[in-house]
Structure 1
Amino acid sequence: MRYFIQFSYFGKAYHGWQNQPNAITVQEVLQKALSTLLRKTVEVVGAGRTDAGVHARQMYGHVDVDAISDIDDLVYRLNAFLPDDIAVQGIHKVVDGAHARFDAVERTYEYWLVKEKDPFLFDHAHFVKHPLDVDAMNKAAKMLLEHRDFECFSKSNTDVKTFNCDVREAFWAIDKEKWVFTITADRFLRNMVRAVVGTLLEVGMGKMSPEDIHRIIASKDRGEAGASVPAKGLYLTKVSYPKEIFDEQKG
């Protein structure tokens, strides 16, 4: 049977989500925990990949295992077995063929930055000491919604069939001690959000105008966009699926 696992992690200790030959990853740790508790080799297929140091407040993966008789008990035992920086929120029965990556219809990321040095947010947010014009940054962010091809924000030499993404929202908001950039799209390219934020910071510092966003995107050149911001401020916050793929009454 196929199940979706909902989980979260703080990414500082991990080389991203996806298994790597010589580095510890979230996928490796979660698969080892599941395989140990279920006493069989289990593969977790994630909703996407996050880079080294990136966090996930909501992530999904699917597994194919025998029927789970007591889901709540398995969630409890998983959380007791997993390290403190990975937590499982739930396990859900889904219809046959449901796919954690391909059936996701929308993903949302947040990027956190702070304007004052804060030891309690050092590992959680990017410290930017320069003055920033949030209105200009929001004007530039809104322009992202007018485009589809975001090759200029993609990691170089990425093997993808298309650079097209449907960006549905992109905005900055000030939340007490931190500034939060929220962006939602059907899909994201590798390194895309960090490159977008780096470019918007250039706008905020007056090094680019908001209208430069159109020129940068049209260029399809990664070198025209701003530098990528550090991974520690990036959070995958939501992955959305069609309701009909969940089959809870059979779980």
Structure 2
Amino acid sequence: MQRFFLEVVYDGTNYHGWQVQDNAISVQQKLNEALNKILRTTVETVGAGRTDTGVHAKQLYLHFDVEEDLIKDEIRFLHALNSLLPTDIAAHRLLAVHKDAHARFDAIARSYEYHIHFGKDPFLLNKSWQLRELPDVSKMNDAAKHLLGTKDFGCFSKSNTQVFTNICTITRAEWVFERGQLVFHISADRFLRNMVRAIVGTLLDIGLKNKPAASIVDVINSKDRSKAGTSVPAHGLYLTKVIYPYINEH
């Protein structure tokens, strides 16, 4: 058996998140169906992480195991796979990896973006969140600096999640104007469930409601989800990069 990593991208608008579910269509389900058809065997995929309903991915890796001789030509395989996948899911790269490589547990860093726009724009429907009022971006960036480092971020996590620790190390947290949109960039070694959307909501409370930038410190120290801001809508969120020690960048 050979283990492969598959790099995929997708528009999450039409899916109930990444993970296979009993009564809803997911991205993983569509990939599994296409892989099973091409390889003519049952394929079990494991993704780098879960994205919620409506969240998009500019890069996500999954792994699967198949008999070594079933995939002989990467280009032909990707062409065949993409011909079977819906138009809102695409496979970009296939990599043969060692048998113990793991798409979820071996990732050493992940990055997300949250996109906000101002003024009605039909071309950003389900791709960015529209705000009517411009927040204080400078103050939000001051607040975001308090997120950097290794801390317990339980205040930004959904309750009753099955994780052993809420400790994460954030290496980047920054708001930037890009092509007329306000984009929040955040990178960390790992993320808790709903963490990015809760962080964005908390920072917007500071930028829109004139709260002190340092108030986010009290939120973090509380470890209490009720102290943080509301989770912003999923459709503005993108998983943009997953990094592994043994995979080279394009």
**TM-score of the aligned structures, taking structure 1 as reference length:** 0.95
Could you say which residue in structure 2 is the equivalent of 1:168?
171
Could you say which residue in structure 1 is the equivalent of 2:155?
152
- 1:47-95 residue CA offsets vs partner (Å, 9 max, x unmatched): 0001111000000000101221111101001111100000000100001
Could you say which residue in structure 2 is the equivalent of 1:234?
237
Superposed displacement of residue 147, structure 1: 4.8
- 1:108-132 residue CA offsets vs partner (Å, 9 max, x unmatched): 0000000222111121000111231
Could you say which residue in structure 2 is the equivalent of 1:75?
78
Between 44-53 and 204-213, the greater mean CA deviation after superposition: 204-213
Superposed displacement of residue 207, structure 1: 4.0
Q: Which amino acid aligns with 2:222?
A: S
Structure 1 runs (4+) deviating above 2 angstroms are none
Could you say which residue in structure 2 is the equivalent of 1:130?
133
SS of structure 1 residue aligned to 2:115: strand
Structural RMSD (CA):
1.1
- Please say if residues 149 and 169 of structure 2, whose CA atoms lie closer than 8 Å, have aligned partners that are also in contact: no
CA distance in structure 2 between the partners assigned to 1:146 and 1:94 by the alignment? 31
Identity of aligned residues (%): 53
The answer to whether the aligner puts 1:65 opposite 2:66 as a matched pair is: yes
The answer to whether the aligner puts 1:206 opposite 2:209 as a matched pair is: yes
CA distance in structure 2 between the partners assigned to 1:137 and 1:177 by the alignment? 18
CA distance in structure 2 between the partners assigned to 1:103 and 1:160 by the alignment? 16
Higher strand share: 2
**TM-score of the aligned structures, taking structure 2 as reference length:** 0.96
Q: Aligned pair count?
A: 245
Could you say which residue in structure 2 is the equivalent of 1:194?
197
Superposed displacement of residue 104, structure 1: 0.4
Could you say which residue in structure 1 is the equivalent of 2:9?
8
Q: Which amino acid aligns with 2:143?
A: A
Q: Which amino acid aligns with 1:104?
A: A
Superposed displacement of residue 206, structure 1: 2.9
SS of structure 2 residue aligned to 1:168: strand
CA distance in structure 2 between the partners assigned to 1:122 and 1:208 by the alignment? 30
CA distance in structure 1 between the partners assigned to 2:49 and 2:134 by the alignment? 34
- Please say if residues 111 and 241 of structure 2, whose CA atoms lie closer than 8 Å, have aligned partners that are also in contact: yes
